[in-house]
Structure 1
C-alpha cells in the first residue's frame, strides 16, 4: 500500500466515478484502475464493486474510507512540515557551549540567527568544555562550542578564534599598577581557579608544569562566573579565558595580560560532518563562523 494507491482509491470512493477521479488526479483511467487494483491486491480483497453503470463500495472499502482520509491528511502534514524544515521555517536545534562562550559571545550569534530564521527554536546547554564534545558525540546536541579537543574521532572542528588567557585582579590590588603580569608575581597571592576536571584548570596546570612552576590553589569553583565573583570580592586572583571579558567588566574586575608562560587555545564549533547536520544546524554553523572566525577577542 502506498500513497498513490490511497489517493486513487479515495478519489474513486468519493466520486464513485473512475472518469471523474482520473480527471481529478490527472491520470489516465487505465493507470487509475491499476492503482486501485494494486491496493486491493496488497490488502487481499475487493474494495469496489463495478457494474456496467455503477460503482459502489464493498463493506471493506467503506471501512477504509475514513482510514484513507486520515492517512492522506497525515501524509500532507508530514510533507508540509518537511518542506518548512528545508525552507528553515520550522525546526529546532540544540547547542552545547562552554560557559565562558555561552555567557558572553553566543547571544550575538543567536540574535543574528533568530533575525533570519525566527521560527527555528534554539536550545542552549552551557556545560564544561569536555562535556561539550561528549554531548555532540552522543547526539545529545548537534553543535558544540568549545576549545579544540586533542581527540574527536568522527567529529569536525571549525576554528573560530584564538582565546588567550588573562589575569584578573580585584580593584585596588597591589599588582594593578603593572600593565603585564608574570605567573611568578601572580602566584604570590591566593589563587582561585575552576575545579577539576575542567579544561581551563587542566590547561593551567599543564602549562605551569611545563614551565616548572608550582601551582598552589587557595579556592576552586565550579563555574567561571563564580571565580570572577570571588575575585571581585577580594578573595584572590585568577587566570581565565579572555572570552570572559564581558563578565569581568560587569563585575568591575581588573584584567591584565599574563606571560611566562602565556596560555592560549583555539575556540571553535565541533559537530558531526556537515552532511549529517540538519538544515537548521548547518545554518547556525555558518552564522557562528561568519560572526567569529578569524577575530580576536
Structure 2
C-alpha cells in the first residue's frame, strides 16, 4: 500500500464537512483534485469510503470504520513531527555526561544548573566516577559526552578543549610546606607521598614531573578517588599532587594547596565525544553551553574560575 498523508487529509476533510466542494476549499484544492485524492485512497484500500450524490456525501460502512483509524494515524504523525521539532529546537531531550568525581563536584553542577535554566525540558544525567574510564564510556555510547584530561591521539574520539589548569601540592594544615608560597617537586618528594592509582591521568602527569627532575618516589599510600586522597592528606598521612580544582573540595578539610613549580605542570581539560556519531541536538547544545560557561570565567565557582583563567 502507498497511502499518502494528503489522501488521509482529503478523506478526513470530506468526512467532517460532508461535501467535496467545501472540503476542497478547506484544503485549498480544486474539487476535482480533492476527488482524485479520495479516489486514490479508495483504490489503495480496495473499498468505497463515501456514497456520493448531487445533494449529499455520506460515509460507507467501510468509511465509518476507517474514520477513527485515519484520525488517530494523523494525530500520531503530527505528534511525532512535533516531538522531532522539539528535539531539534532543544525543547526536550536528554544528555548524559561522564566526568571524574572532582570535575563532577566542582564544575558540572553549575554548568548543568545554568543550562537547565535555558532548556528546562532537557534532562541532564551526570555520571561521576573514575577518569580513566570516561573515554571507554564515550566510545561504547554509554554517555553522550565525557569531561576529563585530554590525551592526544585518542582513537575514535573527538576532543574539544575547555580550559587549561595546573597541578598543586596538597599538604595538611601546619605542615612545613604550608609555609611556602610555592613548592618544588623535589621538596614534595621529601615527604610521604599519597598518590592516585597508576591508571589516573593526573597520576601520569605527576609521575612525569618527578621523572623530569630525576626522581621516582614510591607512594606511601595510594587512593582510588581524589576525595579519599584529600582526607588522607588532612589526616596527616602525607602530601599529594593533584589538579588545582581540588581546592574547592580541600579548603574545608584542613588541607592547604600550594603551587607546584620546577616544573610547572599544566594539563588541558576538555570534552570527549564519539567521532563516528553525530551529537544529538541536546548534547550539542550542552557542549556549546559548557564552552561558553567556561569562557565566561566570572560565572564559574571560585577555584574553577581560577583554573579556567590559567
Same-fold call, TM cutoff 0.5: yes
**Counterparts in 2 of 1:83-232, with a 5 A limit?**
83-232=85-234
CA deviations on 1:194-252 (whole Å, 9 max, x unpaired) are 22422222332344345432131222222111111111121211111112220121223
Task: Provide the C-alpha distance between the structure 1 equivalents of 2:141 and 2:239, rounded to a whole number of angstroms.
Answer: 38
CA deviations on 1:100-124 (whole Å, 9 max, x unpaired) are 2111022222232222222222111
Task: Provide the C-alpha distance between the structure 1 equivalents of 2:194 and 2:46, rounded to a whole number of angstroms.
Answer: 75
The equivalent of 2:237 in structure 1 is 235
Q: Is 1:251 matched up with 2:253?
A: yes
Cα distance change on mapping 1:247 and 1:59 into 2, 3 Å:
same
The equivalent of 2:304 in structure 1 is none
Unaligned stretches of 5+ residues in structure 2: 298-307
Q: TM-score, normalised by structure 1?
A: 0.89
The equivalent of 1:296 in structure 2 is 309
Cα distance change on mapping 1:196 and 1:30 into 2, 3 Å:
farther
Aligned residues: 297
Q: Is the CA contact (8 Å cut-off) linking 2:186 and 2:210 kept in structure 1?
A: no
CA RMSD of aligned residues (A): 2.5
Q: Is the CA contact (8 Å cut-off) linking 1:48 and 1:57 kept in structure 2?
A: yes
Cα distance change on mapping 1:12 and 1:273 into 2, 3 Å:
farther
The equivalent of 1:77 in structure 2 is 79
Q: Alpha-carbon deviation of 1:52?
A: 4.2
Task: Provide the C-alpha distance between the structure 1 equivalents of 2:287 and 2:255, rounded to a whole number of angstroms.
Answer: 32
Q: Is the CA contact (8 Å cut-off) linking 1:128 and 1:199 kept in structure 2?
A: no
Task: Provide the C-alpha distance between the structure 2 equivalents of 1:282 and 1:233, rounded to a whole number of angstroms.
Answer: 43
CA deviations on 1:21-56 (whole Å, 9 max, x unpaired) are 222222222222232233233334433343444433
Task: Provide the C-alpha distance between the structure 2 equivalents of 1:155 and 1:210, rounded to a whole number of angstroms.
Answer: 29
Q: TM-score, normalised by structure 2?
A: 0.85
Q: Alpha-carbon deviation of 1:19?
A: 1.8
